[in-house]
Amino acid sequence: MKKLSKLLELPSDDKLFEYIQYSFRDKITTWDYFVNWKKVFDKVKPIEKELNLLNYLIGKENIEQETALLIKHYPGVIKAIPYLIACREKSFDVLIDVKQFISKRFDFSLKTPTDEQINDLASFVLQAGLADILRNKQVKNLVDYAIGVEVGLDSNGRKNRGGTMMEGIVEVFVDEYCQQSGAEYLAQATAAKIKAKWGIQIEVDKSSRIIDFAINKNGKLYLVEVNFYSGGGSKLKSTATEYCEMYNRYHRQGIEFIWVTDGAGWKSTLKPLREYFDKSDYLVNLEMLRNGILEKII
């Protein structure tokens, strides 16, 4: 990491590593973190008509019988029922006898169900607890209800948004640098895209390898990988090991490799990060980006 130490005018690599580790950010919450509204509405839109048909059941006394009649006349409503219990699956094997471990399959992908299958699906609505909610009008509109369900399901994806948010933040700095310097960049680059855009052939470990950013400055290639870890774990160690291998592979080809990473997770997993640091040229965090490190490196 001597290149970077010199660029930052620090007396030693140890001082540089201290600077990196003490400037990690705990969180990078942006507005995109809370709810992916496009995803929510994209999920509800294909079943909106069916949900409106199912609204017929709200306030009915005999929900099981009314559900069977509705399915018989409009079998398309079947596909919307799993959404009402926050499930993505199209079929379920449910234990109906826990002593004998006897299961019954309920299939919500049926296009033309038999009378027996219709009765089974209507029974599912009853047994899954939806009947009371519909009968007692605890839900006023199933389209609105499904939107709420999707918001809840989308919240499960928040733990995976750190990387996406980090890419968005880093791209702000990459784009600004390229506009000011006349360099060009590709987001979500592959070897094929790099060859097609700039005529530069690179060797990668697998054809499916997607590089977060590739920057071309006067024919010199810089490959940038980005991630953010709010919590520790074995994933951080394996990532550091993988990036050591990536650095060596690109270094042999005369390509510069820049790893931009951040997050409180590193504070408890410094050893593998230090191993990467000692074997490579550029380890960068968000604070360093803010202070113009791309311009210094490139």
Identify whether residues 21 and 164 lie together within a single domain: yes
Identify whether residues 115 and 208 lie together within a single domain: no
Predicted confidence at residue 155, as pLDDT, reads 80
Q: Any idea which residue has 């007692």 for tokens?
A: 136
Contact 103, 96 (CB under 8 A): yes
Question: Tens of pLDDT along 190-205?
Answer: 999 999 999 999 999 8
Predicted confidence at residue 58, as pLDDT, reads 97
254 Cβ partners below 8 Å, 6+ apart?
A: none
Residue 224: pLDDT band (50, 70, 90) is very high
Identify whether residues 73 and 167 lie together within a single domain: no
206 pLDDT exceeds 90?
no
Residue 113 belongs to domain spanning: 37-157
77 pLDDT exceeds 90?
yes
Identify whether residues 197 and 59 lie together within a single domain: no
Which of residues 130, 157, 184 is at a domain's end?
157
Q: What is the mean pLDDT of the chain?
A: 92
- What is the pTM (predicted TM-score) of this model? 0.71
In CATH, what number is assigned to the domain containing residue 224? Answer: 3.40.91
Identify whether residues 164 and 143 lie together within a single domain: no
Predicted confidence at residue 210, as pLDDT, reads 95
- The Cα–Cα gap between 65 and 178 comes to 65
Which of residues 107, 133, 157 is at a domain's end?
157
Predicted confidence at residue 293, as pLDDT, reads 95
Predicted confidence at residue 291, as pLDDT, reads 94
76 pLDDT exceeds 80?
yes
Identify whether residues 152 and 239 lie together within a single domain: no
- Chain-centre distance for alpha carbon 192: 24
Identify whether residues 172 and 274 lie together within a single domain: yes
Question: Tens of pLDDT along 102-159?
Answer: 999 999 999 999 999 999 999 999 999 999 999 999 999 999 999 999 999 888 777 6
53 pLDDT exceeds 80?
yes
Question: Tens of pLDDT along 232-279?
Answer: 788 899 999 999 999 999 999 999 999 999 999 999 999 999 999 999
227 pLDDT exceeds 90?
yes
Predicted confidence at residue 34, as pLDDT, reads 87
Identify whether residues 44 and 121 lie together within a single domain: yes
Two structure tokens written together for 212? 């977060």
pLDDT above 90 as % of the chain: 81
Which of residues 103, 124, 157 is at a domain's end?
157
Q: What is the mean pLDDT of residues 51-66?
A: 96
Instruction: Tell me the sheet residues that pair with 226.
Output: 260
Domain count, the chain: 2
Identify whether residues 184 and 70 lie together within a single domain: no
Give the 3-state secondary structure of residue 202.
coil
Phi, psi at 87, each rounded to 5°: -120, 140
Identify whether residues 182 and 170 lie together within a single domain: yes
Which long-range contacts link 47-53 to residues 24+ away (Cβ below 8 Å)? 47/79, 47/80, 47/83, 47/146, 48/143, 49/76, 50/74, 50/76, 50/77, 50/79, 50/80, 51/80, 51/83, 51/142, 51/143, 51/146, 52/142, 52/143, 53/77
Identify whether residues 83 and 208 lie together within a single domain: no
Identify whether residues 168 and 22 lie together within a single domain: yes
Predicted confidence at residue 232, as pLDDT, reads 79
Residue positions counted in the chain: 298
